Structure 1
Amino acid sequence: MQKGQNIVKCVLVSLVLSVTTVLLEVNHASASDALDGIDSYILESMDAWEVPGLAIAVVKDNEAVFVKGYGVRTYGNLEKVDQNTLFAIGSITKGMTASSIAALVDQKKLAWDDKVTTYLPWFEFYDPYVTREITIRDLLSHRSGLGRRDALWYGSKLSRRKILERVKRLKPSYGFRAGYGYQNVMFLAAGEVAAEASGMSWDSLVAKKLFEPLKMHRSNTSVLNLVGKDNVAAPHTNADGTLQAIEYRNLDSIAPAGSINSTAHEMTNFLQMLLSKGRFGDLQVLSEESIREMWTPHTNLPLNDSVRSIFPSTHVVLYGLGWGLRDFRGHWLVEHSGGIDGMTSHTIMVPDDTLGVIVLTNLGSNGLAVALAYGVIERFISQERVDYSAILLDEFRKQ
């Protein structure tokens, strides 16, 4: 799982890609104008990045105005990607974990500032002070003081609790609440806190609080749920210079940080709910207050030269509760990337414009999802037309 600015090098080859479309009737002339020419741009960019399949969806003014599938589910096969194709969304799961906890906050089953040991009394850190003081808010904002330490869980068959029990052996990389350290295990801890507070597993909680009210019937929290499912995109890699499908990575042990699988169509329901201040249809899924809390800056991220060179209009990069935050061309963005073995995704919301986009791809470690998400957002909020795919690809080739 990775941040959107991280791009890993791959070898470019040409692909013959087929395209299938589910293009919703666009009631917004501005949306139609903004997306003019997007087809050819996406296809050219997919060819450059060697992405076999991709799904993209755009939400504007409480409506899914564009949902489209491109390419194939598995390289070498003819099965096409469409709006209902399942992809792994990776760390976009973190926003869903935070949203599930927000639902519990709304029910007063827990509070953002509750101590973690209230729910997990056995959970310890290297520093007893951190053990005593760390809160749910800290877990969700990457400010525990730990670095990534992904070796603790990656490829492991340990249970969720066993992984958390090993945290006490990890020396901090930063001061507690004094720096940003992207941390998957803290989101696992947050998921286990939610499980204790709700009396159900994290998986069941996400299904009850999000999938069911948002009619996300194909979405699920484990690769085990993909067995026997139709219309599933295969993960791909080209790390050795040859594009090939690979097996799904089982992330059950770290699930609250990145295990959700979903579709472009169903993710529009999630984005619509967030952009509509928690409402979806006749249901108030989350309170406006809880969404505002998730989207409030909690942790500063370094604004390095690479980010400034690609996004010169960006002045601050921050993290809320399960969501990344930044300014872009005078607009406030809420975003997150997702990356697991063989899959890369990115979503961006512009709350003041009730605008959102999600891009799902079935190739690991590529910059196309980020490039397309920013490119689409820019088409709606600016007269600029920056070729982010070409810029990121150039950066990628330099590595």
Structure 2
Amino acid sequence: MKRVIILLLSILLIGCGTSLSSNSIDAPNIENTGARCSLSLHQQIDQLAQPQIDSGHTPGMVVGIITADGQQQIFSYGYTDTDRLIPVDGDTLFAVGSISKGFTAESAALLVQHGQLSWQDTLGQLLPRSNKLSPDARRITVEQLASHTSGLPRQVSNIAMLDKLVYYLFTGAPFYGDLDSGDYNDFLRNFHTLAQGKVIYSNLGYALLDQALEQHSGRPVPQLVNSLILQPLAMKHSGYYPQLLPGYIRRARGHAGDQPKFVARGEVVPEWHFSGYMMGAASLWSSAGDLLKYLSAHLHASGNPTRDRAFADAMRMRLYASDDDSAALGWLANHIYGQDIIYQSGFIGGYASYIGMDRRHGNAIVVLQNSFNWDNDIGHRMLLRMAQAADNPGRCD
């Protein structure tokens, strides 16, 4: 009975599936396309974003766009919080949650490109004291961890986790302390996979990836990401220690939204800070301006051929699903109405974030909000609208 309660509560709190979020989209018909023909991208985003602010869905939101000609635009709505009323902008810091996973996976991809790591390296090879791993756990590869195909669950489900989840419901306090500290050996000692060849979104998997990369390289993941990605791309408003970043005092404050259930929407909730193996899974802070730099490096070029190969490798699909998200490394992909969208979502302690690309048309988008809301509507909607407009220019005649 306890296991059933834990499972049900985990689903209630954290969602299910691979994407974690709702990606509602427009119906692709001539009427909808025609109705938008007279509207600029700015006006379309206004229509989607401003009601979220006016309704109290989120205190603030920043949307960044890259169009097919390489131009970047940033649109800002609302405030960092409801007390100070500081307007958000393209440099405002947000916690981006699981978007951190993409940076971790691509740091691993760079180590692969440098010949310092193989995607087929296993936990049995990379982790010391591997006698604490079950035979199934020993066989898990780096590639499986990075693509959520290892068969590991989202988190370790036990009574201690249940206690933390219940406390989170009423306070918004973090509940991944055990993963952060590496306290999952008992689970791994008895792990038996039942879901090979299937995408199961796993924070546990990324905690293990973080641990394996640190043990193998001798450098913690924040240091790897900083040296391999953030510094080369001049992402000066991105990092794992937000208090050291420019503009921290004016950062967006996280607020309750769809979660936590028993904290009133709009209330400020605690920031989540990790110091161990959850840093690579969920600890990055960034801004819309920096994330546009990151997306531009994926759409075009980063200025370094080795890094470009690593980015391309990370975006290559490892598992296709016709009726759900397909999985790359850190990235997920949808095939919708003839369009291919590759994206990442992040949800953590009062924040929700989205980055996505339509590589065929050369478009990308960033959506950051300082409220924990499951929907990614604006990101998916705008990428599909831009793609449909490019493919059907005659509809606006």
TM over 0.5: yes
Give yes or no for contact 1:147–1:173 (8 Å, CA) kept in 2.
no
2:183 aligns with one of 151, 154, 163: 163
What is aligned with 1:394?
A: none
CA distance in 1: counterparts of 2:377 and 2:145, whole angstroms: 29
User: What does the per-residue CA deviation read over 1:325-346, in whole Å, with 9 as the maximum and x for residues that have no partner?
Assistant: 1212312221111101200111
Secondary structure in 1 aligned to 2:352? strand
The Cα of 1:302 is off from its aligned counterpart by 8.0
Instruction: Check whether the contact 1:91–1:339 (CA below 8 A) recurs between aligned residues.
Output: yes
The one-letter code matched in structure 2 to 1:259 is S
* Larger strand fraction of residues: 1
Shift of 1:234: 0.3
Q: Which whole-Å CA distance do the structure 2 matches of 1:161 and 1:123 have between them?
A: 17
What residue in structure 2 maps to residue 138 of structure 1?
Answer: 144
TM-score normalised per structure 2: 0.77
- For residue 194 of structure 2, the aligned residue among 171, 174, 179 is 174
Task: Decide whether the 8 Å contact of 2:242 with 2:248 is kept in 1.
Answer: no
The code of the aligned residue for 2:85 comes to: L
The alignment partner of 2:98 has SS state of helix
Do the aligned partners of 1:141 and 1:321 also contact (CA within 8 Å) in 2? yes
- Which position in structure 1 is the counterpart of 2:383? 377
1:66 partner SS: strand
1:133, CA displacement in angstroms?
A: 1.8
1:263 aligns with 2:287: yes
1:224-263 correspondence runs (5 A): 225=244, 229-238=248-257, 239=261, 240-253=263-276, 254-263=278-287
**Correspondent of 1:207 among 200, 221, 226:** 226
Of 107, 110, 113, 2:120 maps to: 113
- Indicate the percent of aligned positions where both proteins have the same amino acid: 22
Specify the code of the residue in structure 1 equivalent to 2:271: Y
**Alignment length (residue pairs):** 342
Query: Where does 1:331-350 land on structure 2 (aligned, <5 Å)?
Result: 331-350=339-358
Partner secondary structure for residue 183 of structure 2? helix
1:283 aligns with 2:318: no
1:185/1:250 CA distance change after superposition, 3 Å: same
Question: Given the superposition, is the C-alpha separation of residues 34 and 56 from structure 1 closer, same or farther in structure 2, using an over 3 Å criterion?
Answer: closer
**1:292 matches 2:312:** yes
Partner of 2:363: 355
CA-atom RMSD, angstroms? 2.9
For 2:69 and 2:117, the matched residues in 1 are separated by 30
Higher helix share: 2
The change in CA–CA distance for 1:242 and 1:266 in structure 2 (over 3 A counts) is closer
**Superposition pairs of residues 88-99 of structure 1, within 5 angstroms:** 88-99=95-106
1:195–1:262: structure 2 CA closer, same or farther, 3 Å change rule?
A: same
Distance in 1 (CA, whole Å) between partners of 2:101 and 2:131 is 22
Aligned to 1:191: 210
Mind listing any 5+ residue stretches in structure 2 that lack a counterpart? 1-13, 23-36, 165-173, 391-397
CA deviations over 1:163-184 (Å, ceiling 9, x no partner):
3534425644623x23222111
Aligned counterparts of 2:378 and 2:179: Cα–Cα separation in 1: 36
Q: Which residue does 2:34 correspond to in 1? A: none
**CA apart distance, 1:125:** 7.2
Name the structure, 1 or 2, with higher relative contact order (CA <8 Å, separation 6+): 2
